Amino acid sequence: MELNTTKDAFDRVVKKQKLSSSKSHEVIDQVGHEIQQALAQIVSTHDPTSLVDHKTILTELKVQLNAISPFHQLEGSQKELNINLSKFPKLLEKTFNPDISKAYRNVDFDYHTVNQIIANHFYQQGFFDFGDSIINEAGEPETAVAKFQFFEMHQILEAMKVRNLEPALRWVYANRRKLKHNGSNLELKLHSLQYMEILEKGSQADAINYAKTYLAPFAFLYKEEIMKLMGCLAYRGRLTSSPYAELMSPSHWEKSTEELIQQFCSLLGQSYNSPFGVAIAAGFEGLPTLLKLANVMAAKKQEWQAMKQLPVPVELGKEFQFHSIFVCPVSRDQGSEENPPMLMPCLHVLCKQSIMKLSKSSTRTFKCPYCPAEASVAQCRQLYF
């Protein structure tokens, strides 16, 4: 985005402000100088009984100050500054969208709910003091459950950061059955990390002992992985230049950490990403389109507050796609239970209503709108996404 115009305009404001400010200093100095001169004159008059002298000086000073006409002096630079001060906001309104709340619907957006959402966001990210702080300041009831569960997760992660796997392993042992059900071999991954740590920093005997106790149970299911790990024994002390150097990469720690978060959240019944983060990010992507839509609708005097479905798509990245939406290419209707997607023998897909129309209510065969193939209703079957 072109910001140079805005920056230049701002620089002009600052320049005029500096000019105006130094003009103020100048005027004050001038006035001060005149007064000081007058003062010096009065002090230097010798006859203390003389009324005329200092009176004359004061009158002269008055005339002198009027001649300086300080306000006239200040006016010029102030005027230029004012012009720039009122120009700049106008430029901002032109360059940016001056009111993004045009896309906002004035519906009850319950702030207690929003506060809970924010607190949970902080807890999930591990910012427990922020979560507690907003709950406190807003006077919301505590959402203790989510907080303590996330607290455990972040303790595990903190320990992993300093390569302490104990808390992580304790959690894995406690949830072995569920992890297995999820198809996760996190336990093996954590033991491998621990084994590599010992191999690098501890004695050979320790490493062998560890392998016997903790890696051996996986030997049957994960033959190759275990063989690699054991092979490392031959290169102890020079692993970084061995064929197994890759096993030393910190990326293994990162991946295992990520998997732990994933599994932990999954067992909690929580999402991997903060739902608040996801919804706001969708807002970042969607708001520009919604604003354009709101403007178009306002111009056509259409109701923004009450509509049931947006009239146009708001394209979001694929990370925001959580549901299968089938849109019939002929009718543009969204698939539903009453009007499901149907697969034709040519493997093109239309919605049921479109097929009923084309077949004149299943009284005849029809040509696929997208290829030369013919089909009858009986040959079409419903799809489930």
Using CB under 8 A as the binding rule, the residues of this chain from 254 to 283 that contact another protein are: 269-273, 275-283
User: Within positions 42 to 101, which residues make up the interface with Zn ion, using CB under 5 A?
Assistant: none
Dihedral of CA 308/313/319/321: which sign?
positive
Q: What are the residues whose beta carbons fall under 8 Å from the beta carbon of 262, sequence distance 6 or more? A: 272
Nearer to Zn ion, 83 or 371 (CB): 371
Distance in Å, CB of 295 to another protein, minimum: 9
User: Within positions 171 to 230, which residues make up the interface with Zn ion, using CB under 5 A?
Assistant: none
Nearer to Zn ion, 194 or 354 (CB): 354
The listed partner (Zn ion, another protein, none) that binds 334, CB under 5 to 8 Å by sort, is another protein
Q: Out of 28, 83, 216, 245, point to the residue binding another protein (CB under 8 A).
A: 28
d(CA 185, CA 169): 12
Name the residue among 243, 225, 226 with its Cα closest to residue 235: 243
The listed partner (Zn ion, another protein, none) that binds 81, CB under 5 to 8 Å by sort, is another protein
Cα-to-chain-centroid distance, residue 285: 11
User: Within positions 315 to 374, which residues make up the interface with Zn ion, using CB under 5 A?
Assistant: 322, 346, 348, 368, 370-371, 373
Nearer to Zn ion, 314 or 368 (CB): 368
Rg (CA), the chain: 38
Nearer to another protein, 27 or 168 (CB): 27
Query: Is residue 19 within the footprint of another protein (CB under 8 A)?
Result: no
Contacts of 290-297 spanning 24+ positions with Cβ under 8 A: 290/103, 290/314, 291/97, 291/100, 291/102, 291/103, 293/103, 294/102, 294/103, 295/102
d(CA 190, CA 188): 5
The interface mask with another protein, positions 341-360, x = CB under 8 A, is x-x---xxx-----------
3-state secondary structure of 381: strand
Nearer to another protein, 71 or 220 (CB): 71
Q: Which helix (H) or strand (E) holds 375?
A: strand 374-375
Nearer to Zn ion, 134 or 373 (CB): 373
User: Within positions 96 to 135, which residues make up the interface with another protein, using CB under 8 A?
Assistant: 96-101, 103-105, 107-111, 113-114, 116-118, 120, 129-130, 133-134
Nearer to another protein, 59 or 203 (CB): 59
The listed partner (Zn ion, another protein, none) that binds 270, CB under 5 to 8 Å by sort, is another protein
The listed partner (another protein, Zn ion, none) that binds 204, CB under 5 to 8 Å by sort, is none
Task: Give the residue carrying structure tokens 């084994």.
Answer: 195
The listed partner (Zn ion, another protein, none) that binds 233, CB under 5 to 8 Å by sort, is none
Q: Which residues pair with 334 in a beta bridge?
A: 327
Dihedral of CA 159/163/168/170: which sign?
negative
How many other C-beta atoms lie within 10 A of the C-beta of residue 275?
A: 13
Burial (0-12, 13-18, 19+ Cβ within 10 Å), 298: exposed
Segment contacting another protein (CB under 8 A): 15-23, 208-216, 218-226, 238-246?
15-23
Nearer to another protein, 249 or 324 (CB): 324
Q: What are the residues whose beta carbons fall under 8 Å from the beta carbon of 240, sequence distance 6 or more? A: 248
The listed partner (Zn ion, another protein, none) that binds 311, CB under 5 to 8 Å by sort, is another protein
The interface mask with another protein, positions 303-332, x = CB under 8 A, is ----xxxxxxxxxxxx-xxxxxxxx-xx-x
